[in-house]
Amino acid sequence: MKAIFKNHISFRILTLSSILILWAIIQSCSPDKKKDQFIEIVTEVMDFQSVDTIPSGWNTFKYINKSNETHFFLLDKYPAGKTLEDAEKEVIPPFQNGMNLINEGNDEEGFAEFNKLPAWFFEVVFSGGSGLVSPKNSSLTTIKLEPGYYIMECYVKMANGTFHNAMGMTKAIVVGTQDSGNLPPKATVEINISSTEGINFEKSIPKGIQVFSVHFKDQITHENFVGHDLNLVRLSDNANLDALESWMNWADPKGLITPSPDGITFLGGINDMPAGSTGYFEINLEPGNYAFVSEVPNASGKNMLKTFSVKD
């Protein structure tokens, strides 16, 4: 009788431990677990800290801006054989020299400097990244990447007009041939952006966690040599939309430079991507006033500055 009782107990312990092991296996395979996996990018001052190699396919990036300035990360896919060294020698100087001349009021000479960009620069594929992120904020961005050699960069300007990428905000990232196996997230709000129709989305955006999909119906090179992107901004009562719009153009001496406009908090978004691609970003939206804005000249005239309210 005692032996049977003992056996019964050990059988129960065995069953319990099997269940626990099974539970652990299920947990490690479940898609919910995967949702928390992301590639972290940290900026402390004027830097990008991240891994050097990532898988191809869908990846989610958590960009954490610990610095006192506004930044973004943009992934530029480089043509075969070109590296960060080539960018430092041939790309950053014409942009910086041109910007310096524009800042001095010599617009014509400044824009002429951009003609010195090497032919291969026009083969660089801007492959997405976060939108602008204000100091002490973070963003969650999901994009799909082809294998290749990429440069992560930020070209916001310091108060003296120097581009962040000339100050070290560049980092080479190799996207490997192995696919991450991740699937894109499910969007709660779908946004379309194009050069002909601007930014379009559903009329009302609810509070709480939202996953925005941003579909690039087309992509063009705007007057300031960049493509359109999508940035989410929170507007305080003192926010001035005209100031925001002119600040979004880097080629303006007062554009994309520290300090950013008063009353504006940049909450990420999706950086330039090729026509036909879709990027996702997730954010917990509090009630308040917001805008989507693209980093191009004359955003409002292009329907690329759209305000909306999130109701309580």
Q: Which residues here bind Cu ion, judged by CB under 5 A?
A: 71, 154, 156, 164, 169
* CB of 113 or CB of 153, closer to Cu ion: 153
Closest contact distance (angstroms) between CB of 167 and Cu ion is: 8
Closest contact distance (angstroms) between CB of 136 and Cu ion is: 14
C-alpha distances in Å from residue 67, one per residue of 56, 73, 151, 244, 270: 29, 14, 21, 21, 20
Closest contact distance (angstroms) between CB of 179 and Cu ion is: 30
Closest contact distance (angstroms) between CB of 224 and Cu ion is: 17
Closest contact distance (angstroms) between CB of 200 and Cu ion is: 29
| Distance from C-alpha of 128 to C-alpha of 114, rounded to nearest angstrom | 23
Q: What would the two tokens of residue 22 be?
A: 């099974």
CA 281 to chain centre: 8
* CB of 184 or CB of 253, closer to Cu ion: 253
SS3 304: coil
Q: Are strands 189-194 and 208-216 parallel, antiparallel or unpaired?
A: parallel
* CB of 285 or CB of 293, closer to Cu ion: 293
* CB of 158 or CB of 211, closer to Cu ion: 158
* CB of 67 or CB of 298, closer to Cu ion: 67
Backbone angles phi, psi at 159, to 5 degrees: -55, -30
| Distance from C-alpha of 70 to C-alpha of 207, rounded to nearest angstrom | 25
